[in-house]
Homo-oligomer: A and B are copies of this chain.
Amino acid sequence: MERKIPQATAKRLPLYYRFLNNLQHQGKSRVSSKELSLAVKVDSATIRRDFSYFGALGKKGYGYNVEYLLGFFRKTLNQDELTNVAIIGVGNLGTAFLHYNFLKNNNTKIVMAFDADPKKVGQDVEGVPIYPIDNLEEKLKDVRVAILTIPASEAQGVTERLVKAGIEGILNFTPARISVPNYVRVHHIDLAIELQSLVYFMNHYPLPDKEEI
């Protein structure tokens, strides 16, 4: 595994990939770092640098070939392999995710969900079955990633069961900072904090005055 790609770069790859996909659907066959920059709002030098970690993907004076680049990223991002995902907690957020089709230009698929509430268990949403949380260990096969959308108070306990059941990655939407062994990867998405920090930035980092539109 190539160990040298900076994390900041890695986080932008899916963004590039998505935009390249759009370009291809529009029938465009070439693109420059400048155009890309405009669309994804990342400095063009940063884009060139990002790409350069993977070698020389472009051509001077021309730009990048969309199809080639796309093919390259498809491999790099494992777009040909489907990663199965489970939703833990079918409440407000969990249900929203179930209704949303993450599959659109994406390599992940929600294949099952779990809940503690007997009223929710047994149903299926968009073809995805909802199992009782008690059956977690038994049902979780071929699933590497879990999306955690349960109350914060349950987060740590359920996480430990997920880890025992073999989960390797968790997208955690609860405000709890969960502890996991070091072979499991957790990404936190803390919506309340995002909102709060947006407000903080608005109040404390005033941007230039209104003038243009």
A residues engaging B (CB < 8 A)? 1-3, 5, 7, 10-11, 13-15, 17-18, 39-41, 77-78, 83, 85, 92-93, 95-97, 99-100, 102, 104, 106-108, 144-145, 147, 163, 168-169, 171, 175, 177, 179, 181-185, 187, 189-210, 212-213
Binding site of A, secondary structure by majority: helix, strand, loop or mixed? mixed
- Closest residue on chain B to residue A19 by CB atoms: B177
- Across-interface contacts of A204 in B (CB, < 8 A): 1-2, 5, 10
4 tightest A-B CB contacts, nearest first? A92-B96, A14-B196, A96-B96, A14-B193
- Across-interface contacts of A107 in B (CB, < 8 A): 196, 199
Query: How long is the Cα–Cα vector from A213 to B192 in the complex, in angstroms?
Result: 30
